[in-house]
Amino acid sequence: MTAKEAMVTGKTALGIEFGSTRIKAVLIDYSGTVLAVGIHDWENSFEQGIWTFHLQEIYDGLRSCYHSLKMAVREQYGITLSKVGSIGISAMMHGYMAFDQQGKLLAPFQTWRNTNTQQAADILTKLFQFNIPLRWTVAHLYQRILDDEAHVAHIDYVSTLAGFIHWQLTGEKVIGIGDASGMFPVDPLTNDYVENMVNKFNQLLEPYHFSWQLRDIFPKVLVAGEKAGMLTARGAKLLDEEGDLESGIPFCPPEGDAGTGMTATNAVAPRTGNVSAGTSTFAMIVLEHPLKELHREIDMVATPTGAPCAMSHANNGTTDLNAWVNLFGEFSALMGHPVDAGELFTKLYTNSLQGEADAGGLLPYGYYSGENITMINEGRPIFLRTTKSHFNLANFMRANLYTSLGAVKIGLDILRDEGVKVDRIMGHGGFFKTKGVGQRYLSAACEAPVTVMNTASEGGAWGIALLAAYLIDQQPQETLGDYLDQRIFAHLDGDTLNATPKEITGFQKFMKHYRAGLRVEKAAISAMDW
């Protein structure tokens, strides 16, 4: 079947992922081949101390991204997209979106970037004896209760961004277990919220006399392969303003970017891992056995099928790195030689390989927001060096690439000390677009071989498209792991790279500086209050 025939007959799957800086739509056939891509760039706002997106920005971004995909289909294939076999929605995990019975947003959307939940996270972690990170939805909810915010009494529904968009398109208040595991702890045996923790949380609510308990307001948990609703007529119009898209399209469970990253890298089985590197950077390792100790630096989450997974999640990834690259782009334009952004990134990244293994003693922190792993609650992007540092362009870029992995590396070291084993690590996201650069530095950080597939740049949007395809194309008793292994990744190419001992030692030296320099980052927060 040709690509055009697949689209005309609806033998396709559509994945839409809301990232922190880009909304991306990917249309695939049942072999996983990308047929068309749509993109909408956006940026969160920092308003009254809160990282947020406005509802109108979400709706506009959804429509714009789909329109971009639709135009790509028209230009590439000469047809109007009207049929799609299945759809999946993914978005950045965590955060807080609360609605009343009329569907009105009760408080500004708080994204994963917000770290204003320390008190709640500490109380819940102690109560559950389970790490509740600052960005988790339940931490946000309980902090709103502790802060005596009036809107809490009127809550009818709380969800993540992916769950919200799915609700708007299908009318269903459900969520994939991977995304759910960033709202509240989940049980791999029941594929649901952990019951005894639900009961403990409800006990915390008793003095407030709310009309609701936790399960009343949280979405129903589903696993990969389960039906999660159909595109309504209203949803079809919301997605495609021109009215060409047919309603009735089945949806897979909405997922978070961690789950789609695992899917996009075929890292859903025990002893597999992946690193997603973009605006935030996180490493996921699917576990063979529970961790021996509670670690505040490590999130315990789930794959899209409910398998337990340890996540080292850094709030800060490539935002500051991108800002520096854009600065070089401005300089180039100023000198009368404008450079394409893709070429600029490629040349600067590639040139970083000429830098020293330890980045010459240079030390940046791209902390635009607080960083849970390093216990820093506010962001101050800073660049540090000594008089002995070797300050040149190659080292400068190498240091900025290294620091994008710095906080994640701390979490990976904790997992290594816990005896967590991993057979393969896959990389995906924009960090790996330039071949052999980010991949090499990640291998040095992980001290293990790293594989990047030729689909790596499609990232989570491709991952949620695969989950949508699995919904309608799975065979009886076929697991997600088997589906990915045998029907998607068996025919895909990838490159595996292993850092040299010198590169590993160099990264270790950089990390020694990184850990020591955190005192300066903390001092900068105190001193730079403007």
- As a three-state string, the secondary structure of 125-152 is HHHHCCCCCCCCHHHHHHHHHHCCCHHH
Q: Measured between alpha carbons, how far is 126 from 149 in angstroms, rounded to an integer?
A: 23
- At 456 the pLDDT is 58
Bridge partner list, 46: 51
In one-letter notation, the amino acid at residue 414 is I
CA–centroid distance for 407 within its chain: 16
At residue 428, the pLDDT reads 81
Q: Is 387 exposed, middle or buried (0-12, 13-18, 19+ CB in 10 A)?
A: exposed
User: 413-418: which pairs have CB atoms within 8 A and are 24 or more residues apart?
Assistant: 414/295, 414/297, 414/298, 414/312, 415/285, 415/291, 415/298, 415/310, 415/312, 418/291, 418/292, 418/293, 418/295
Tell me which DSSP letter residue 484 carries. I
- How confident is the model over 338-381, as pLDDT tens digits? 999 999 999 999 999 999 999 999 999 999 988 989 989 889 99
CA distance 103 to 94: 20
* β 281-286/272-277 pair status: antiparallel
Q: Find out whether 493 and 454 touch, Cβ atoms under 8 Å.
A: yes
Give bridge partners of residue 158 from the DSSP assignment.
98
Q: Which residues, at least 6 apart from 444, have a Cβ–Cβ distance to it below 8 Å?
A: 499, 503, 504, 506, 507
CA-to-CA distance for 305 and 220, rounded, in angstroms? 15
The separation between CA 414 and the C-alpha centre of its own chain, rounded to angstroms, equals 21
Find how far residue 277's CA is from the centre of its chain: 9
CATH class of 3-255: alpha beta
Tokens of 190: 């029941």
Could you tell me the residue ranges of all domains in the chain? 3-255, 319-403+501-527
* 113: its two tokens: 């970037």
**What is the rounded CA–CA span in Å between residue 427 and residue 442?**
8
Whole-number pLDDT of residue 20: 85
Q: Residue 474: exposed, middle, or buried by beta-carbon count in 10 A (0-12, 13-18, 19+)?
A: middle
Locate 436 and state its tokens: 């052999």
For residue 115, the model assigns a pLDDT of 83
Using alpha carbons, select from 15, 85, 481, 413 the residue that is nearest to residue 265.
481
pLDDT at 491: 82
Cα angle value 146/150/154 (rounded, 5°): 110
In degrees and rounded to multiples of 5, residue 183 shows phi and psi of: -95, -45
Instruction: Give strand pairing partners of 256.
Output: 91
Angle, in degrees to the nearest 10, between helices 319-334 and 341-352:
110
- Per-residue pLDDT, 458: 66
Burial class (CB in 10 A: 0-12, 13-18, 19+), 467: buried
Stated pTM of the model: 0.84
Rounded average pLDDT per 10-residue block, the chain, 530 residues: 91 95 95 95 91 95 97 96 97 96 96 91 97 95 97 98 98 98 96 98 97 97 98 97 96 95 89 86 90 91 94 91 96 96 96 98 95 90 97 98 96 93 84 92 92 74 96 94 92 88 98 97 93
